[in-house]
Amino acid sequence: MTGQGGDAVTLHRTYLTVDGDKAPVDAPKKLMRHETAKQLTGGAIRLVAPGRRLAVTEGIETALAVIEVTGLPTWATGNAHLLETFVPPPGVRQVLVFADKDRPSRQHPSGHGQEAARGLVTRLWAMGIRAGAIAPTLDIPAERKGVDWLDVFNRLGKAGFPALGSVDTALTRAA
């Protein structure tokens, strides 16, 4: 994971089984702060080179699903808090947030993923960057705390994603 300026700030590790599933260990995902890192907020896991348009997600697997379906350059931020504090690199003029859909909680009455996406979009518009967010329409299974775009891809394939033309139209109208 790199900070706003592109310097390494932490190492993200995900423990997997030989089948590629998350390993059945206490903490299958870990962020390990770099000893010289000052700040995680604002940064991201830069999976591909950005363009004038950049998509962002919370999780790496979700970002890879977005790349697979849309072809958009997509970065993962690691979690909802880091999504909300993300700062795009210079040259990015439009950010599309593929938000997680999380259950409401006492601390996050509208769901943490949705609130983080809304906060990021609001801040980006104030910075002069066109931004929008979309969350999955899938119902959250009883045993889960939320769903993300990887869940959409796994259940519905490409058909579960919105047409990017409709996203462009919504962002143009909002501008």
Across 44-72, average pLDDT: 92
**Nearest partner of 141 among 151, 153, 154, 156, judged by Cα:** 151
Rounded to whole angstroms, the Cα distance separating 16 from 119 reads 32
- Band of the pLDDT at 34, cuts 50, 70, 90? low
Dihedral-angle region of residue 49 (phi above 0 means left; psi in -120 to 50 means alpha; beta otherwise) = beta
Is residue 40 within 8 Å of 1, Cβ to Cβ? yes
Residue 56 forms part of a structural domain:
yes
Q: Name 82's Cβ contacts closer than 8 Å, sequence gap at least 6.
A: 40, 41, 43, 44, 58
Q: Judge whether 20 lies within some domain.
A: no
Domain assignment present for residue 23? The answer is no
User: At 93, which CATH number?
Assistant: 3.40.1360.10
> Considering the domain boundaries, does residue 7 fall inside one?
no
pLDDT at 166: 58
Strand, coil or helix: 113: helix
**Spatial distance between the Cα atoms of 169 and 72, rounded to a whole number of angstroms:** 16
Strand 74-76 relative to strand 53-57, pairing: parallel
Count of beta carbons in the 10 Å neighbourhood of residue 40: 21
Q: Higher confidence at residue 165 or residue 122?
A: 122
Domain count, the chain: 1
Does residue 35 belong to any structural domain of this protein? no
Report residue 38 as tokens: 């000052």
The pLDDT, as a whole number, for residue 2 is 65
Show the tokens assigned to 97.
Answer: 């947030």
Integer angstrom CA distances of residue 142 from 113, 145, 147, 167: 17, 8, 11, 30
116 within domain boundaries: yes
- Per-residue pLDDT tens for 64-122? 999 999 999 999 998 999 899 999 999 999 999 999 999 999 999 999 999 999 999 99
- Asked if residue 112 belongs to a domain, the reply is yes
Of 164 and 17, which is predicted with more confidence? 17
- How many residues make up the chain in this entry? 175
- Structural domain that includes position 165: 40-174
Is residue 97 assigned to a domain?
yes
What pLDDT score does 100 carry?
Answer: 96
